Every structure is written in structure tokens, then in C-alpha cells.
Structure 1
Amino acid sequence: MFAYIPTEAYHFGVIHTPKFQEAWTMPFAFCTREKRWCEFAEPADGESTQFLQDLAQKYNMVIVSPILERDINHGEIIWNTVVVIGNNGNMIGIHRKNHIPRVGDFNESTYYMEGNTGHPVFETAYGKIAVNICYGRHHPLNWLAFGLNGAEIVFNPSATVGELSEPMWPIEARNAAIANSYFVGSINRVGTEVFPNAFTSGDGKPQHADFGHFYGSSHFSAPDASCTPSLSRYRDGLMISDMDLNLCRQIKDKWGFRMTARYDMYANLLSEYLKPDFKPQVIADPLINKRKA
């Protein structure tokens, strides 16, 4: 997935294709239990990044590059990582996926665990961007955290299939853009993969050799609730969208979501919720048990 912005106009683009998808700059998803996919892991500054650094500098664009990272300095731990490359060809930084799915055939915890980079926002030549990797889009607080850190655009590179998530796809990102007053770029891969070894989903159904159809449908959402048409469900595609980043501030001024939020109240609830003796704030009707009697 590329995020690129020529200097002469504030254009932002996404590519959805089997070759540049959520976690891997490689032409497949590897969420089955076949550990041999680990052979494709590489350091954050490895060959994929070096290749894209040249392109970023040549075309004066910012690139968000998803890879399978091998952390050489920490026992070769593997992470689901995005590398953010600046328009001068420099590596600005990385972000590791915060939320790891344990649903359906997506057995990603076989390869890596939750990331340890927090919610970084990368200040680029063309705006402040963040990356909410794939499954993180199902967690509203994940979207919120990027907004609190000042993101103007949050990219959501994904590899997700129709039967699992398609009804939620046009809703979650658009809602995040509205609630957090920033733009969202939703990128999903296309195609269907067939694996050499059949696998089961632990749901009692017969074993199978594919995930289902990756439905594409990449699009942009804006903080004013508007959104672009989606790319195809079946073909590779490129989308270019003009974005006025001033809209982020204008919407904040209009709706005042930041001013009217009760972060102190939410923080207190979350703090209490994490305690072993947490008790939900439920007020029961005292007449319920009397009626039953």
C-alpha cells in the first residue's frame, strides 16, 4: 500500500493489490499454520524498505510499507510492521500492529504478538499520518489514540475476506473519521488464495485450502462524513484523492468533540476496569426480584 503526495498538489493515493497488502509486501497472506512463511521476514531496514526508499525519493512521495519484520536486535522476534518512508527516501519510523486477531482462519498469533510501539503519528512533509493496521479497525480506542496524538490521516492497510468482515468495512473507518476528525484511507487486498495444505477453522466445518475472497473495496473517508466511491472487489486498483487537511480543524471547531469529551471520566473507568476486583456500575431495579417471587 502506498500513500503518496506530490508536492505540487495535496493528492493522497492508495493501491490495493495482492502484492501490497496488510502485513506483507509479498503476493500472499500467511495466516495459516504453515510456519514456513517466516522465511520471508526481514529487518525493518531490509531489502523491501531499501527498494521503496529509492522510489520515494525518485517520485517525491511518502510511502507506507507493510512488511513481516524480523527484529534482529531482540532474538529475531517477528512483528507485523509498517515502515513509513519519507519523500526524501529516509526511513521516518515504524509501527507494529497493536491488535492481533484470533478469529476464523486468521491465526496470526502463530507468528507474532501484539505490537509495542504505541500509537505513533508520523509528521511527514505532507501531513501527520498514522497507520491502524488491519484488525485494529475493530477497536474504537485504537482509532481514538491516533487522533489524540494529532493524526490528520490514518491509513488502514488490511487483508480481510468477505464472509468475515465485509458488512463492517464501509462503516468502521467512516465512523472513525467522523468521531476523530481526521481522514481515513481504507486499503484491502483483492483475490483468492489456495494453499498447498488444507486446514481447519476449529468450527466443526470441513477442512479447506483457502480463506475466501479478499474483497478489495478500498476507499477514503473524510471527517465531514463524506467518502469516495470504492475500488473494485475483484481487480487491482489505484485511487487518487484530493484532501484539504484544514478540514480536520474545521470539523473540530464545528462539532467540538474534543472539548465535549469526558476523557477524565473514561480514564477513571478504564483504570477501575483493569483491577481484579472491578465491579460494573449497574443499578438494579429493586422490584425485579419481588415480581419473580
Structure 2
Amino acid sequence: MASTNCRVSFEFRVPYHSEAQYILGEVVRSPQLSIGDYETCLLVFPRGTASAEGKAVSAFVEVRPQDATGDWELPDVKYSISVYRRGQPAEERKDKHTFNNLQTDRGWHDMIHTTKVRVLQERGYLLPAQMELVFLVEVAGNFLQMRPTKRAKLGYGTELWRDMKFTDMVLCAQDDGGPELPCHRSVLAKSSEVFDRMLSSDMREGSERRLVIRNADIETLRAFLEYIYTGSLPEVAVGNAPYLQELLALGDLYGMPELVTNCAQKLTGLLSAANVGVVFRALRCELVGISPLWRRACQELRHS
């Protein structure tokens, strides 16, 4: 489909009467607006995100396709967020970003450098009669183009995982004496640029055809390898929060954002009083693409 330049601008008002009105990580979402084949909205965190530590109002533009599922990428989207201030020009920030299925929002954790009502009033962000933060948003780009992500999944991965014929290397969790998991160098290299560099270089892993991953046990490595081949989490991991946390860490370590997001989504769905520590430790990490899931977990915990 041919690309086309599209632009949308809108105003969004967020009531803010007291600091007790919101909690850290709570999001206020504007209505969705259509722009080409996509939708966009503004995400405001009146008490800030975890990264802002409650010291700043945070704001992010979200962009996502209206209908598409799976991997997508929308390059070179220009966006700006402005905040109204009484008696002064609007305070504007702007940037350009490539949005994709792993990172659907972009903006600033420190959009306004305070969350205190009194200070917001003194600086002209809040008017006594209305007590609202007023945001102005503009988004522009080629919203009828969509690119596939760089690394396509192997269409024959499930069959390779089942048969494991002609393997040429092994994964293991310790240097000597432990179990070994046979695998294919080409599959590892295709799944991760980190593996690709390791196996294509003069590093020991490339020459010895043996890769030791010490920060995981052998069963976690087996699940990790199954995901690499099939693109799906094994059943043993889906409902197990500690298991998912370990897989999420491996995905981050080896540059596999799809695995990180998949595990984070499953962890968010498992959130309960019994595992809240495990889930929050995993989601609070500064990992690509999971900040919306961290915010969702904060909201679900508040309303549970």
C-alpha cells in the first residue's frame, strides 16, 4: 500500500485536585484518534512512572495499528507534547521515533518536574478554577506504511524442535558434567543478533560448539530453546511466575524483545497477592517494550 503523510493534533485535560487523587504508575488515557490505518492517544501519569520515582508528571504518545496483529513497525513518526502554563508559552517537547509492536508508546518520564499540587499551581500548570493539566499533542507520519520486523521466525522451527536431526552444537547450564541440550547453530543465530555475533566470531562458543549459560538451570534452558525454535512458550512456563521471570531475563540478555514482551504479558495476567513480589521485580526492570505492562500491573494491583 502506498504511504501517505498524515497529521493529527488534539487537546487532553487531566483533572488534578490533590496528590491523593492518583497513585504512582496510574495512567489516565485520552480517547483514541484515528490517523491513517492507526490509532493514537496520550498516556498521562499524574503521579509519574516508576522511573520518575513519583517526582515528575509523565506523558507518552501511544501509536498502534487499528487491526493488525503480530509484528509491525512504523518508522519516522514525529510527535510533540505541550503543557499549557498560565501567562507563558506552552512548554513543548518533540521527537521522532520508530513505533513497533514491542514499543507502542514514547514520551517523557519527566514531562513536568513536580507532582505537587501547590507547586503546579505556583508554576501556572493548574488554574484554581479548573484544577486541570492541559496537554496539547501532535502526531505526524506516513500512517499507511507498515514494515515487518527484522528477524522473521523460521517456518519449520517446530519440526526441527521435534526431530532435532543434524544438530551441531549444545547448550548447557554448567561448565562440566551437566546435561547438554543439542541444537542448531543456524537457528540460534537467526533468533538473536547476540547469538549471531557469538557464533560468527572467534569466541570460544563459536569454535567449541558448546554454549554455557550459567544464570539459568537446565529446565529453564530447555524452555528457552523451545521458544527459540517454535516461537511459543512451553506449557510448563505459561502459568509459572518464577519460570517466566527467568525466561524474561534470558530474553533481555540475548536481545530477544519478543520473548521479553511475551513473558511480561503472561506475568501481568498472573498477578496476585501470592506472587506480587516476583511479578513486580520482573516488570520493574528497564526492559524494552514492557513499560505499559508495568503500568497495567500497578493499576490491577490497586483495584484488586
Whether TM exceeds 0.5 here: the answer is no
Q: TM (normalized to structure 1)? A: 0.25
- TM-score relative to the length of structure 2: 0.24
